[in-house]
Every structure is written in structure tokens, then in C-alpha cells.
Amino acid sequence: MNRLTATIHGWLLLLPAMAFLALFTHWPAIGTLIDSFYSTPRPRRATSYVGLDNYRQILDDPIFWQSLTNNLWFAVGTIPVSIALAMLMALWVNDRIAGRTLIRMAYFTPTVLPMIAVANIWLFFYTPQYGLLAQALGAFGGTSNTNWLGSKDTALLCVTIVAIWKEAGFFMIFYLAALQQIPVSLGEAASLEGASRWTYFRRVQFPLLMPTTLFVLVNAVINAFRMVDHIIVMTRGGPDNATSLLLFRIYELGFSFWDTALAAALTVILLAGLGLAALAQYGFLERRIHYR
């Protein structure tokens, strides 16, 4: 009877979280999947079943392919760089250096800032002639008239830099926590054996950080494909869709063109792609992870 009571109490404790998860996560996902097979309702035209027509229309849309290409380049630029920077920053602030508390706080500060505020700060940096970047280049003899966010050649790179600056400090916290779980005796043994810091990192620290790396990698991939707020503030997907990412395209279809059916179809495609990417990451990296 006591075991049954404990089980009931356990499920009752889980019930509020499960209800909110089902109400705000699972049900909207199922509703989006259902909506993707129907047309967008209009004032004088009720919704109707259209099968895979929305998906065909998405695949025939050149802006979708451009957004997908932009998003892949955005992911290639943000994921490895932000993870590498996070690991380097964690290794540095994990050592006993002067002012490491202030350095940790400085690294983590971009993470707690709202993305809208971050985007406005970087808008000032990128402003031609008057922005901080233009002033710095002008001081060293460079040109200050470059429209960084208005050029197709530099706009995507600029928003990529903003995302890296925002995310690296967040990932650093996980690596720092993982580094502090590594026994000090391992470092002492490596020092007695005459191992260099690079050898100690490559042979001891990096393998033990692999579980954290897998967790960070999955989150970095998700973040790379859910980025939309600073795109809206900084470029609105321009110029000429050069910074249009998949989630921004969903926002554009749903709230600018009011085509909720196409937005639902593209959402399902994005979720399916992220699910496959997560499975691939776990399948590839799980065998290379050392758990203690």
C-alpha cells in the first residue's frame, strides 16, 4: 500500500508539468501537423483538405531554398565557432587567474541580455559612418561607409557574428561545470608524468568533456535553426532575402502574408529536419563518449 501511495504521489507531482507540456508543446505540434494538410481559412472561404499541396508549394518556392541555404551557412558559421570559443573560455576561467570572477561574468553577460536589446546594440556597431565599427576602421585608415547589413556579401556574416557573441558565453557555463567535475588528481598525475597542457587536454579533459559536448552540440544546432528575433530587428531578412532563415520565413508566411497553412507545412519540415539531425548526432557521437 505504501508503494502504491508513493507511486500515486509521484504521478500527482508530475501531473502539472506533464499537463503544461502537453498543452503548450505536444498539442500545438500535433495541431501544426494537421493544419499543414489543409488550406488557409479565409473570411469567405472555409479551410479544406489539400493533402500534400502545401508541401509541394513550399518545395517549389525559391525563397525557401534560399532560406535553407542561408540557414545551413549560418549553422556552419555559428555551431563550431561558438562551441570552440565556449570551450576555450571555460578552460581559461577554470584556471586560477586574477579576476576570474569578473571574467566569467563578462563572458556570461551577453547570454542574459534580451536578443532584441542585443540586436539594437549591434545595429549601432554596424551603422555606416557613425557606428562603432565604422569609427574603428576610420581610425586605422579604413573605409567607414560600408553598409554591413545592407550588402548581400556581408549581411549574413554580420548576423552570424552576433549569434556567436550571444551563445558562446551560454555554452561556456556547461563546459565550466563539466571541467570542475574532473578530479584534480588527474591533472596532478599528468603533471608528474611530464605531460604538457595540450597533451592533458587532448588525452584527459577533452574525452571527459564529450558528454557535455554532445549536449551543447544538440542545443547549438537547435539554436541555429530557431534564430529569428535578431533577424527581424536587424535586417528583416534582407537585403534581397540574403539573411532570411527558415524560422524567419515561417514568421513571414504566417504573420506577413497570413498563409498559416504554408507556415505550418514549413514548420513540420523544420521540426522533422531537426529531429533527424538530433538522431544523427546521438548515433554518431554516442559511441565516442566516455562516461564516468
Give the pLDDT confidence of 9-31 residue by residue, as tens digits. 889 999 999 999 999 888 988 99
| 118: pLDDT strictly greater than 90 | no
Residue with cell 549560418: 74
* Bridge partners, residue 49, by sequence: 38
pLDDT score, position 287: 66
The pLDDT tens digits of the residues spanning 192-206 come to 888 888 888 888 888
Task: Tell the burial category of 72 from Cβ atoms under 10 Å away from its Cβ (0-12, 13-18, 19+).
Answer: middle
Q: Where are the domains of the chain?
A: 62-288
Highest mean pLDDT among 58-72, 84-98, 130-144, 215-229: 58-72
Q: Which superfamily, per CATH, for 62-288?
A: MetI-like (1.10.3720.10)
In our burial notation (b when 16+ CB lie closer than 10 A, e otherwise), range 204-236 reads bbeebbbbbbbebbbbbbebbbebbbbbbbbbe
The pLDDT tens digits of the residues spanning 52-86 come to 999 999 999 999 999 999 999 999 999 999 999 99
| 292: pLDDT strictly greater than 60 | no
104 contacts 175 by C-beta, under 8 angstroms: no
Calpha distance 34→261 (Å, rounded) = 10
pLDDT score, position 263: 94
85 contacts 164 by C-beta, under 8 angstroms: yes
pLDDT score, position 184: 84
| 137: pLDDT strictly greater than 90 | no
pLDDT score, position 109: 86
